[in-house]
Chain A
Amino acid sequence: MLDALTPSELEAVRLSLKVAAASVLASLPFGFALAWLLARRQFPGKSLLDAVIHLPLVLPPVVIGYLLLVLFGRRGPIGQWLDETFGIVFAFRWTGAALACALMGLPLLVRAIRQSLEAVDRRLESAAATLGAGRLWVLASVTIPLSLPGIVTGMLLSFARSLGEFGATITFVSNIPGETQTLPLAIYTYTQVPGGDPQAMRLCVLSVLLSLAALLASEFIVRRAHLRVFGDAH
């Protein structure tokens, strides 16, 4: 049944992977910075920031999609500014799908990184400082390596979340084959046309296999990361 994927199915899979990868890579610096802020700093409004980061987890995705459309659309205040200043356009582009996925995956990313940052023994950072490492060196040579398992976990969770993203994406960047039509959107399309059930089922099976592969790979990669950092398997 899966021996030959049609070009349009292949396109949907390729796009899904591209969008997920881009969303994870683009959100990683922000996610790490937010996690570091929440784990290491005390400041007014910290609880509020924490709550806002977690909103995508509890809000209906369509709300996130609509807010993105209002803010990052062609005429939206941020979208217009980005277009005029840097020539970056999110509306109805695959980059917009990646933005929606990044936002939906951010709470998972931040949570995982924050937890591993909180588990890092701060005294190891002090020890590194007495050995001559400045703050950035301490971050690069102690803090980040020691929180690597959490960083990898967060990236994989966010990646898997992106593969399944539907509501925010379709609301923000619509359902354009080859540009924004990721796997879930393609399945939805087939269920809306008469006689599309077999194709929808093929994509569903594909989706299950893809997600399963992502989860198994993440298990393997996290274990490898832990082994590399601490020299033992969890």
Chain B
Amino acid sequence: MRIEIDVERRLESFRLKASFSCDAPVTALFGRSGCGKSTLLNLVAGLLRPDRGRIAIGDRVLFDVASGVNVPPEQRRVGYVFQDGLLLPHLSVRQNLLYGRFFTPPQERWADIGRVVALLDLAPLLERRPRHLSGGEKQRVALGRALLASPRLLLMDEPLASLDAGRRGEILYYIERLRDEVRVPILYVSHEIEEVVRLAGHMVLLSDGRVAASGEVHDLMGRMELRGLIGRYEGGAVIEAKVAAQDLDSGLARLAFTGGELLVADVDALVGESLRVRVRARDVSIALERPRDISILNCFAGRIAEIGIEPGSSVDVRIDIAGTPILARITRHSAARLRLAAGQEVWALVKAVSFDRQSVGYA
């Protein structure tokens, strides 16, 4: 379902002016805190009114200043999963889950209680009060509650932000299940790039209330000029690949992409499955000749497309490997010593162990 957003809203000194459209199962709204991500979600949910613009989901217009349409939040049928769950404290988990369903017209209820409870493993929690739930359990209930209102669109506002690292993986897993088994588009707000790569196909990059870029995740991740916005430490190219083979003895998976085959360790995937793999720039080394007798398993021949000009002791180098861009971060010192220049033929080296579950998203 196509989501079209073109809104403007002023909040004291902050001004949000965002325009984009997307059609992916999961669209990530990515940016630093204070860039306007949550404000944007509140505009879509109807909790805030845009000063001007238009919001439409598929053929349903939720807000249009030109024709005077402003559907109130309770009629938008947009599920909202808040950062801290916001379960109703005076109701049991069961009552929370059924709350939204109660207000949904019977002919529009597509979400099945038994299926949602099974999908999110909620059965043992049903009779409890929210205050007796852990952070992760609260978010699972919040997901279930939003789903059971049979929404046309799900909004998630950093649903992992209030959880510890262990719980994050757990909830990410449930969100993936939800994305794959329930056909409802998701707008996912985050400032963690690994969540974006794992979940989203489309990414909208927000900066200071503006859309800096909007497009496929692997496209934006390979663009050098966006590196500052994505964050240099975790940044790196995203490759779309397919699992060619899974070697159980060595624990290595062979991922085929247009530039060759990438060997990765510790990634569970079925043969034939499509993946998005994030190759962090700081895990990529550059050699002028093909190294021999080296432990690094992935060596790709490529051509330098661009060398970054950012200040500091390191530079980012974009290497084109048969049409697939890969980013490498090396010291300025090394770049000078190897006399790297655009157009030069080089080898890009990536260790197979630099990948883990957090580097991979299932498309």
Contacts and interface: CB of A to CB of B under 8 A. Distances in A.
Interface of A: 121, 123-124, 126-134, 137, 141-142, 145-146, 228-232
A142 B87 CA distance: 11
B132 A231 contact: yes
Given A230-B131, A231-B129, A130 B90 contact: no
Interface residues of B, number: 28
Contacts of A131: 74, 79, 99-100, 103, 145-146, 149
B202 interface: no
Contacts of B146: 130-131
Of the listed residues A121, A128, A129, the one surrounded by the most CB atoms of chain B closer than 10 A to its CB is A129
Nearest to A232: B131
Contact of A134 (B47, B74, B80, B131): B74
Contact of A128 (B46, B77, B99): B99
Contact of A229 (B86, B89, B104): B89
Contacts of A145: 90
Of the listed residues A127, A128, A145, the one surrounded by the most CB atoms of chain B closer than 10 A to its CB is A127
A145 B99 CA distance: 14
B73 A130 contact: yes
Given A134-B74, A230-B131, A231-B129, A128 B89 contact: no
Contacts of A230: 89-90, 131
B241 interface: no
Given A130-B76, A130-B78, A132-B77, A124 B86 contact: yes
Contact of A127 (B77, B86, B131): B86
B80 A133 contact: no
Contacts, number: 72
A130 B88 contact: no
Contacts of A142: 88
Given A126-B73, A142-B88, A230-B90, 8 more contacts: A124-B89, A127-B86, A129-B46, A129-B72, A133-B99, A229-B89, A230-B131, A231-B129
Nearest to B48: A126
B131 A124 contact: no
A146 B89 contact: yes
Nearest to B83: A123
Given A127-B80, A231-B131, A231-B132, A132 B90 contact: no
Contacts of B131: 230-232
Interface of B: 45-47, 72-80, 82, 86, 88-90, 99-100, 102-104, 129, 131-132, 145-146, 149
B189 to A, nearest CB: 15
A15 B275 CA distance: 79
A132 B46 CA distance: 12
Contact of A123 (B86, B89, B99, B129): B86
Contacts of A229: 89-90
24 contacts: A123-B82, A124-B86, A124-B88, A124-B89, A126-B73, A127-B86, A128-B99, A129-B46, A129-B72, A129-B73, A130-B73, A130-B74, A130-B76, A131-B74, A131-B99, A131-B103, A131-B145, A132-B75, A133-B74, A133-B99, A137-B74, A230-B90, A231-B89, A231-B131
B149 A132 contact: yes
A229 B132 CA distance: 14
Contacts of B145: 131
A127 B90 contact: no
Contacts of A141: 99
B69 to A, nearest CB: 18
List 6 tightest A-B contacts by C-beta distance, closest first: A132-B103, A131-B100, A130-B80, A231-B129, A129-B73, A127-B86
Contacts of B80: 127, 130
A130 B77 CA distance: 7
Nearest to B92: A231
A110 B80 CA distance: 34
A127 B88 contact: yes
A127 B103 contact: no
Contact of A130 (B47, B104, B129, B132): B47
A229 B89 CA distance: 7
A134 B86 CA distance: 18
Of the listed residues B46, B47, B76, B89, the one surrounded by the most CB atoms of chain A closer than 10 A to its CB is B89
A141 B74 CA distance: 14
A141 B103 CA distance: 12
A132 B104 contact: yes
A146 B90 contact: yes
A24 B82 CA distance: 39
B22 to A, nearest CB: 20
A128 B86 CA distance: 9
Contacts of B132: 231
